[in-house]
Amino acid sequence: MLEITDYYFEIIACLALAGVCYANYLQRSALIRLRKMIRCERADRQALENDVQALLACSKNIGERVLTQDAEQHKMLKKLDVIDLYRDPNQGTSYDQVRKMIEQGIGLDEIAEICDLRRGEVELLSHIASHRSAA
């Protein structure tokens, strides 16, 4: 008759095989969880990358707007400097300043830009100034 002691090796081998199968099952479960976490991390990273790109685009636009405003400010300061050069404390109106600039031979477009007038206004003042000097 067969005794249990005759099957120790087979019993131990089966238990070892069952242990290996259970370890394999645990590893597979852990691997599935890790893959899920990696997918979530990739999605989060993509969302973060999109946010950073949006911020960079926004900051680029802000930087360009600041540069534009800076250029406009310098342009206005130059206009003010030119107006101050031609300002006579005895003459009160900007039309008198325009007349003085016309007499000094400054171009009509430049006068219009400096004094923030329309070209037609400057032409009219130039025409009036030429009639005054002819009279």
Q: Mean pLDDT across the stretch 77-98?
A: 67
Query: In the chain, pLDDT over 90 holds for what percent of residues?
Result: 31
pLDDT, tens digit (0-9, with 9 covering 90-100), for 24-43: 999 999 999 999 999 999 99
104, 133: one domain: yes
Shared domain for 69 and 91, answered yes or no, is: no
Q: Is residue 16 part of a domain?
A: no
Shared domain for 64 and 100, answered yes or no, is no
pLDDT greater than 80 at residue 64: yes
113 domain-assigned: yes
3-state helix, strand, coil in the chain (%, to 5): 85, 0, 15
Q: What residue numbers bound the domain in which 51 lies?
A: 30-75
**Rounded Cα gap, residues 105 and 103, in angstroms:** 5
* pTM attached to this predicted model: 0.39
| Within a domain: 106 | yes
Instruction: Establish if 108 belongs to a structural domain.
Output: yes
